[in-house]
Structure 1
Amino acid sequence: MGYSEEWVTARARDAYRHGRATFDVRPERAALLVIDMQDEFVRPGWSPYWVPAATRMAPRLRRLIETCRAASIPVIWTIFDDTHLGLDRPHALRYLPHADTDWRRPGPATVWDQMGHRPDEALIRKPSYGAFYDTPLDTMLRNLGRDTVIVTGTLTNYCCGTTARQAYERGYQVVFGADVTATDDESMQEPELAVLRKGFALVATAEEITGRLTGPGPRPPG
């Protein structure tokens, strides 16, 4: 007996739309990654790279950050920045349509002040999309004893999605925030979530993530 084209297509479509990873989200094993919620992308009207959807979802993300702090879950921030004179940035970037950075930033890239980054929370300056590329993030997570990452921030289909894939490839359990990520064209949000849902991550809303983190009682170690 073979499989029909209709059957395999319907099966794939269902996984893109409704697939759910089955791992447990344990607060003592999780870390929250806040990707690139910086002035360039989130501060209204401040740069040509402003992502209005990121500004709108920022209060929801702030609430999730506070939930994680209350649960003693490390919060790790990233900034997409010019590092090492740009010599550590992927060479092919210069050939891509979004390589134009011909505008003047008034000082170093910073987390948008409305996000409430704290001095006792790690901040990684990364040279490319994924937060694992040429950064100490993997070492930091392993030193913290964390094997689950909750990915939030902007842009969904660039820095957040790439970080999720890199985490998956390194053996982490990945939780991806469906409504605490945002991108510059909102029609691209669900297609990216669909791919992540089927192949890389547990895709969940902030409310669902909070429920998993604050659910009943402590779990046994292991």
Structure 2
Amino acid sequence: MAYTEEWVASRAREAYEHGRASFDIRPEHCALLVIDMQDEFVRPGWSPYWVPAATRMAPRLGRLVEECRTASIPVIWTVFDDTHLGLDRPHALRHLPHADTGWRRPAPSEVWHELGRRADEALIRKPSYGAFYDTPLDTMLRNLGRDTVVVTGTLTNYCCGTTARQAYERGYKVVFGGDLTATDDVSRQEPELAVLRKGFALVLTADEITDQLTENASGAGG
């Protein structure tokens, strides 16, 4: 068979738009990762790095957090912070085009209080975009016996997308919340979801994630 340019382009387009990974979401295998829903990005007007779409999405994410607690699914939170005096941050970050607004964190980063993080839920302070980079996340997940991560939070195309890719590379099944993530330019949301959908993750809405967790709750150990 001779594969035409039109055929291969159509096949790729279909995978970007509609591709679905072929695994089920089982509560006993899952951990929920809540990425960087911190004051800096979510608290309205608090910093120049505020992501309004993340604030709007937060109530939906909060409902999933409660559903995961009820289902005994571990909830692991992260914040992007100044750890170890910045000495563990990737050196090249200083050369990237992040406009300096002059704003500085007045204190260590904290999860936005409206989301109600509990003291018995792990908080990882990470030095870079991905939650696996120079953190104990991989060890924590393996100790919990979890091989599936549900990635939520902000920013979709930076910390969330990088975490999804890092999880994929470590052999985890990755579920990515299409309406449980947010970024600072809404036009960038769907292009990132398309790439993840084709090559890295099962991209689902909050309702779809809840439905699968409920449907598969009786299949513990399967």
Q: Offset at 1:216?
A: 5.1
Letter in 1 for 2:144: L
**Where in structure 2 are the equivalents of 1:103-182 lying within 5 Å?**
103-182=103-182
Q: Which runs of 5 or more residues in structure 2 are unaligned?
A: none
Question: 2:205 corresponds to which residue?
Answer: 205
TM-score for both structures, normalised by structure 1: 0.98
Q: Offset at 1:218?
A: 1.9
CA distance in 2, matches of 1:205, 1:44: 24
What does the per-residue CA deviation read over 1:124-163, in whole Å, with 9 as the maximum and x for residues that have no partner? 0000000000000000000000000000000000000000
CA distance in 2, matches of 1:87, 1:67: 37
4+ aligned runs moved over 4 Å, structure 1: none
Letter in 2 for 1:193: L
TM-score for both structures, normalised by structure 2: 0.98
CA distance in 1, matches of 2:131, 2:105: 22
Q: CA contact under 8 A between 2:130 and 2:163: conserved in structure 1?
A: yes
Q: Which runs of 5 or more residues in structure 1 are unaligned?
A: none
Q: Offset at 1:99?
A: 6.3
Identity over aligned pairs, percent: 81
Q: Secondary structure of 1:20's partner?
A: coil
Q: CA contact under 8 A between 1:132 and 1:167: conserved in structure 2?
A: yes
Question: 1:76 corresponds to which residue?
Answer: 76
Question: 2:4 corresponds to which residue?
Answer: 4
Identify if the C-alpha distance between structure 1 residues 138 and 216 changes in structure 2 by more than 3 Å, giving closer, same or farther: closer
Aligned residues: 222
Q: CA contact under 8 A between 1:93 and 1:99: conserved in structure 2?
A: no
Q: CA contact under 8 A between 2:28 and 2:220: conserved in structure 1?
A: no
CA distance in 2, matches of 1:100, 1:78: 23
Question: 2:87 corresponds to which residue?
Answer: 87
Q: CA contact under 8 A between 2:36 and 2:111: conserved in structure 1?
A: yes
Q: CA contact under 8 A between 2:25 and 2:216: conserved in structure 1?
A: no
